[in-house]
Chains A and B, each alone.
Chain A
């Protein structure tokens, strides 16, 4: 939507405008990507996301029949196995994704928050997996709880986050923490769409060396949409850029 010359007094309009500017027009689900995005390392983000979807899906099936179903049902045990292995795949892909992003210094170009949301999502995933281990209602849960309580009590948080309280840990595992991880992933992906994939070190766009372009890059923190790659596919008029 085109921006008004002065901010609207309508909260709805202001929110809508702000939301619309989160991602450059056409970049929420673009059908083109920078030509330098050409390596297998780039698939591990989406691979992690796909694995995450199976973690949630298998977890949802486990919730259908309760926390101890998998101990006494072969089907339940199989679903539990898919939950375990999708988690292993999730961490497998996520860490490779993390290594790739580190070696590419993917935080360059104002992408610091993308790294931060990803890092926190990683840590939140570890916490979620941890509450999962506590929710197994088997030997592993007993031992893990007994050990972990010492670490948490040592820093004074063990009463608030009581790993010996299976009811609490189960609810954190199936509701609270997946929500946190899901929101973080969503923010992370939106940030990737907002800023685009980081260019290689020292890469220059084709008309580099143009002083005017360098100036305009420094003036605006908001990335602009590609002027007219394929208007039909982006499906919306292309504003020159916010704030200009």
Chain B
């Protein structure tokens, strides 16, 4: 190391090694810590266990909320679902969020291209064989113009919304083209239990990427309804919480706090804004030692007087 003048002449903290010392067994302290932490870990695990709320399979979704599956499939075809209108990284259908003048989401680019209608609904339906009505519906649908496809799908979506509980059986007659058949068969496919597989591994043997099934599932309202019961929603301080009565992530308190208050709670750019704000605060946190004022705070707060009240270190006259 080169010798150099100490950068800040105001920080006259003396070298710790010049002070009187006493014996202290660091290794023993470490072993004691290991024993204590080990006992606490095992005790807490034995008494409280850990939460394991079962994943919502697409089959479970289909059985619990069939109307939601039909409505979601219809929205995918209509191009109105969350994923279909998301923007980057899945498509260009939405502008994405901005952080002031910075179009961060758009600048990220479409790096996970997903065509919601094709990839989440039509492609899985194409894997079904021996269903003449389905094959005919698919041919009719994909032979039509995009404008016609949208017209059918939107009309059916509106019709479903007008029915109590969204029950497809109660939908008024109308001009929906092959969409009711497609949505209905999609529900069957989901109920069969094979939909995750088709979405993750239809063109590959090994699948470990759940992007498509998760986008489909979150396009519906069932998963969120389940989450909100446990206060896991974004406007419920959800980032801090855990299923059941388990402690969650209390250290996320400040990150999730902003989502609860204006202007973030009513902004379409909430995620970008909160991230930007937290990035600044995080930087300040990391750089505390170098920030005048902030770094002087502890001296004035005085907690150090409690910590060091038993020491006999001589104090310099102020």
Residues in chain A within 8 A of chain B (CB atoms)? 18, 21, 24, 27, 29-39, 41, 43, 46-47, 49-51, 53-54, 58, 70-71, 77-78, 80-86, 88-89, 91, 95, 100, 102-105, 107-112, 115-116, 119-120, 123, 126, 129, 136-143, 145-147, 150-151, 153-160, 162, 164-168, 170, 195-206, 208, 213-214, 217-226, 229, 242-243
Contacts and interface: CB of A to CB of B under 8 A. Distances in A.
Contacts of B46: 78, 81
Interface string B50-66: 11111110000000000
Interface of B: 1-6, 9, 11-27, 29-30, 33-34, 36-38, 40-42, 44-46, 48-56, 86, 88-89, 96-97, 99, 104-109, 111-112, 208-211, 214-215, 217-218, 223, 226-227, 232, 234, 238-239, 242-243, 247, 249-252, 269, 271-272, 274-276, 282, 285-290, 295, 298-299, 301, 303-304, 307-308, 310-316, 318
16 contacts: A24-B17, A31-B23, A32-B23, A32-B24, A38-B311, A78-B45, A85-B45, A109-B13, A110-B11, A146-B223, A156-B107, A158-B89, A164-B211, A201-B308, A213-B18, A222-B1
Given A82-B45, A220-B3, A54 B38 contact: yes
Contacts, number: 334
A41 B306 CA distance: 11
A95 B249 CA distance: 12
Contacts of A104: 298, 303-304, 307
B227 A143 contact: yes
Nearest to A46: B33
Given A32-B23, A103-B301, A162-B211, 14 more contacts: A34-B21, A36-B313, A82-B41, A91-B251, A105-B299, A112-B289, A120-B286, A136-B52, A139-B226, A153-B88, A153-B105, A153-B271, A155-B275, A221-B3
Given A199-B19, A222-B3, A86 B37 contact: yes
Nearest to A102: B298
B24 A33 contact: yes
A85 B41 contact: yes
Contacts of B107: 156
Nearest to A36: B311
A53 B269 CA distance: 40
B289 A111 contact: yes
Contacts of B13: 108-110, 198-199
Contacts of A37: 24
Given A202-B318, A203-B314, A223-B15, A160 B21 contact: no
Contacts of A70: 52
B41 A54 contact: yes
Contacts of A166: 208-210
A244 B269 CA distance: 58
B55 A137 contact: yes
B3 A243 contact: yes
Contact of B53 (A58, A138, A160, A197): A138
A142 B9 contact: no
A147 B16 contact: no
B110 to A, nearest CB: 8
B14 A142 contact: no
B6 A139 contact: no
B208 A51 contact: no
Contact of B312 (A30, A35, A154, A201): A35
B120 to A, nearest CB: 13
B55 A138 contact: yes
Contacts of A243: 1-3
A121 to B, nearest CB: 11
A219 B290 CA distance: 21
Most A C-beta atoms less than 10 A away, residue of B6, B107, B318: B6
Given A102-B298, A109-B11, A221-B1, A203 B19 contact: yes
